[in-house]
Amino acid sequence: MGIIKVENIRVYAHHGCLKEETIIGSDYRVDITVRADLSRSSKSDALSDTVDYVFLNRVVREEMAIPSKLLEAVAQRILDRIFEEDPLVNEATVSVSKINPPIGGDVEMVTIELSEQRKK
């Protein structure tokens, strides 16, 4: 089993419960960690035998473009797509962070993290 990480994917998106958040938008950071059997790709040196991080980045960008009230919903959509579209992924963790959230204080970011294993 191996791990592939795609870290600090920076996206501008329109999520939030406040109307202003969905109109104005905010900066977000997304981190993904996936676990997969990398033994075949480590020997074959073939992209088709591994989890393509270009695919992971694309899924994040596409799902972040769909406005949601809660970051939890966005993270779950990302997880669902990863498991639906890449059978090599056995486990995944997605963290979605809102940079400078409008919560009335000096807060760098708020983060939610969801993890899931492939259902057997």
Query: Residues 86-106: pLDDT tens digits?
Result: 999 999 999 999 998 878 888
Which residues are known catalytic residues? 98
pLDDT at 24 over 90: no
Give which of 118, 82, 99, 86 is closest to 25, Cα–Cα: 99
Q: 73 phi and psi, to 5 degrees?
A: -65, -40
On average, the pLDDT of the chain sits at 94
pLDDT reported for residue 66: 96
Q: Which CATH architecture has domain 2-117?
A: 2-Layer Sandwich (3.30)
Residues 6+ apart with CB under 8 A from 62: 81
pLDDT at 120 over 80: no
Pick from 40-49, 66-75, 78-87, 99-108: least confident: 99-108
What are the structural domain ranges in the chain?
Answer: 2-117
CA distance 64 to 47: 25
* Strand bridging mode 89-99 / 2-13: unpaired
Quick one: pLDDT band at residue 65, thresholds 50, 70, 90? very high
For residue 66, the one-letter residue type is I
Average pLDDT of 54-78? Answer: 97
pLDDT reported for residue 48: 93
pLDDT reported for residue 22: 81
Quick one: pLDDT band at residue 59, thresholds 50, 70, 90? very high
